[in-house]
A and B are shown apart, each in its own frame.
Chain A
Amino acid sequence: MEKWANNKAWFLVLPVVIIVAFSAIIPLMTVINYSVQDIWGPGQSVFVGTEWFEEMLGDKRLHDALWRQFLFSGLVLLIEMPLGVLIALAMPKRGWGVSACLVTIAIPLLIPWNVIGTIWIIFTRPDIGLFGAGINNLLGIAFDHTARPLDAWITLMLMEIWHWTPLVILLAYAGLRAIPEAFYQAAKIDGASAWAKFQYIQLPKMRGVLTIALLLRFMDSFLIYAEPFVLTGGGPGNSTTFLSIYLVKIALGQFDLGPGAAFSLIYFVIVLLFSFMFYQALQRVGKGEKG
């Protein structure tokens, strides 16, 4: 290739390079740097190669947190995706009801995450919470998210679904509204049932927005931190200790920067890998190849 006589134009890219360097590359490099060293104090460190990675990969508590994390994200996706689509289908299509529904549904998305934890702590408290007290005293079912792992999980799932299904609903609704009227008219003329209409028109046309919803919900739920931290702090026991909570315990609680950095990188690779797989799978469905 021919060389340019004047390379000054490269300077125009410089601001972006600096921003990306400070926001992504340098922090990531720091993490990589930590992950291969044992650091005792300023200026006192030794290169340890893959030792931290081996240690973390063999860590039983990390394995437990990882399975817990997969179970959590899996349940979240299994519940939120169909529920979001179902609610979007049931929403009104015109009139004042549209704005009323959209605003009501969007409210949970506007609340700061740690405030959500606080709201639900109070809501589910067995002594004074509307939900907690109601279920304990009125229905007579013992429920305490601070003492029983299952109750903690139920509370966490309810909170997550309440908080994030609206995002799926909004995306699915936008996808539904974008389907031209002629498709429904053709389906009517062809005598299609409501289920056939959903299967052959609505669902395929929503594929794009649902891919985005799936990726966002997977990444967010896989990285969940604030809600379980505020609600239970990872307990009772370790029952709600997800990857990020465990990571913070190692890196900030015990100040084990080396293992923490190795853990971060493993975590990062897992999220990237799964997001890529989901994306590829959905793209293939779109092209009609059997995935």
Chain B
Amino acid sequence: MARIELSEIAHSYLPNPKEESDYALKQIHNTWEDGGAYALLGPSGCGKTTLLNVISGLLTPSNGRVLYDGKDVSRLPPEKRNIAQVFQFPVLYDTMTVFGNLAFPLQNRGLPSSKITQRVHEVAEILDLTPFLKKRAAGLAADAKQKVSLGRGLVRSDVAAILFDEPLTVIDPQLKWDLRRKIKEIHEQLKLTFIYVTHDQVEALTFADKVVIMYEGEIIQIGTPQELFENPEHTFVGYFIGSPGMNFLECTLDGNVARVDGAGITLDEKTAALGLKASGKLEVGIRPMYLKLRFEPVEGGVPAQVQAVEDQGSYKIVALTLAGKTLRARLPEGKPVPDGKVWLVFPPQWIRLFADGRLIK
């Protein structure tokens, strides 16, 4: 077990990186606490896998240091770092049995065979793989294969952290749910550091205590699922988390009123005061679930045009046009379905103000 620190990490796949865009990882500086369940979330190509490979040692970063419990391991190969990694698709030694697969990392480290047998049985028990121990690994179903990959990490009692690189990509939906719960259970049981890479927000939000959001080679926010939802620090987080994402409207400030193409949205005074000090392109953001719809003019209501209504089962999503921009509002079940012109109410406590994409706070 270990606390993992990344100190000023940057990485480029090019031999002589010059511009910022040459870097796959721009500037990463953070700490992964011992025993934490982290999700590393971001769109495809944002550098998640690169960061994971830097942590595991499969990749030596161009700049910066990786520390395990304060010890610099930047130049150590993966086998010396006591790290385990589960890959996107199952990586098994096909010709071996499940037992052979689980025993392999221990055999390579020269453990006595009685100790190996004991460890393998313990881990197989945790992963519900005991009935399969004598079977050939190649014949297993995809979810059992992923469990074997995970098991190869768990057998090592000295393992510092387990890294998951989108491990559920090839698993069927129902089994996905089971396996995700199993991984979570194992985390609670063993209290190892888990870092879980995914581009699926549901996976990230249900698995992790802390979600790390990456965007274009940078970590833009680390927080609990609730923090990410309520206070996205970047418009990207607001847009990426939540389904549908946060609504954004470009605005100018006029006292404590945000002007959007003539319409006025009242902000609370604290937000407005901070906004007046900020510079750059201003945007107001609000989650679809906090946007209220009224059928007649109300105090502070902004007129908008209903475009479409989408039924999502237990709720409906209403797409509206306001000042040429499309907004989405979430309509709880049982409410009357709007049509034509409506008035939108923006509750001040749920309005966030962004300058050049960053949350003003």
Distance in Å from the Cβ of B168 to the closest Cβ of chain A? Answer: 15
Distance in Å from the Cβ of A25 to the closest Cβ of chain B? Answer: 40
Give the CA-CA distance A205 to B91 in the complex, in Å. Answer: 12
Contact status of A186 and B149, CB under 8 A, knowing A191-B108, A193-B108 = yes
Give the CA-CA distance A186 to B152 in the complex, in Å. Answer: 9
- Is B96 among interface residues, defined by CB-CB distance under 8 A? yes
Task: Pick the 3 closest A-B CB pairs, nearest first.
Answer: A191-B79, A191-B108, A190-B105
Contacting residues, chain A, for B109 (C-beta < 8 A): 191
Give the CA-CA distance A204 to B105 in the complex, in Å. Answer: 19
Contacting residues, chain A, for B136 (C-beta < 8 A): 288
Contacting residues, chain A, for B53 (C-beta < 8 A): 185
Contact B87 A186 (CB under 8 A): yes
Contact B152 A190 (CB under 8 A): yes
Distance in Å from the Cβ of A178 to the closest Cβ of chain B? Answer: 14
- Is B146 among interface residues, defined by CB-CB distance under 8 A? no
Which A residue sits closest to B81, measured CB to CB?
A: A189
Contact A200 B84 (CB under 8 A): no
Contacting residues, chain B, for A188 (C-beta < 8 A): 58, 77-79
Contact status of A189 and B94, CB under 8 A, knowing A182-B88, A288-B136, A288-B138 = no
- Apart from A185-B85, A288-B136, what are 19 other A-B pairs with CB-CB below 8 Å? A180-B89, A180-B91, A182-B87, A182-B88, A183-B91, A185-B87, A186-B149, A189-B79, A189-B83, A189-B153, A191-B79, A191-B108, A192-B104, A196-B104, A196-B108, A201-B93, A204-B93, A288-B95, A288-B139
- Chain B interface category by residue count: 20 to 34
Within A177-232, the residues touching B (CB, 8 Å) are: 180, 182-183, 185-186, 188-193, 196, 200-201, 204-205
Contacting residues, chain B, for A205 (C-beta < 8 A): 94
Main secondary structure of the interface of B (DSSP, over half): mixed
Contact B91 A182 (CB under 8 A): yes
Tell me the number of A-to-B contacts counted with CB atoms below 8 Å.
58
Contacting residues, chain B, for A182 (C-beta < 8 A): 87-89, 91
- Is B56 among interface residues, defined by CB-CB distance under 8 A? yes
Give the CA-CA distance A191 to B244 in the complex, in Å. Answer: 44
Which A residue sits closest to B165, measured CB to CB?
A: A182
Contact B91 A186 (CB under 8 A): yes
Contact A192 B108 (CB under 8 A): yes
Give the CA-CA distance A192 to B84 in the complex, in Å. Answer: 13
Contacting residues, chain B, for A200 (C-beta < 8 A): 93, 95-96, 104
Which A residue sits closest to B59, measured CB to CB?
A: A185
Contacting residues, chain B, for A185 (C-beta < 8 A): 53, 58, 78, 85, 87, 91
Which of the residues B87, B94, B108, B138 comes within 8 Å of A190, measured between beta carbons? B108
Which B residue sits closest to A203, measured CB to CB?
A: B95
Distance in Å from the Cβ of B343 to the closest Cβ of chain A? Answer: 54
Contacting residues, chain A, for B79 (C-beta < 8 A): 188-191
Contacting residues, chain A, for B88 (C-beta < 8 A): 182
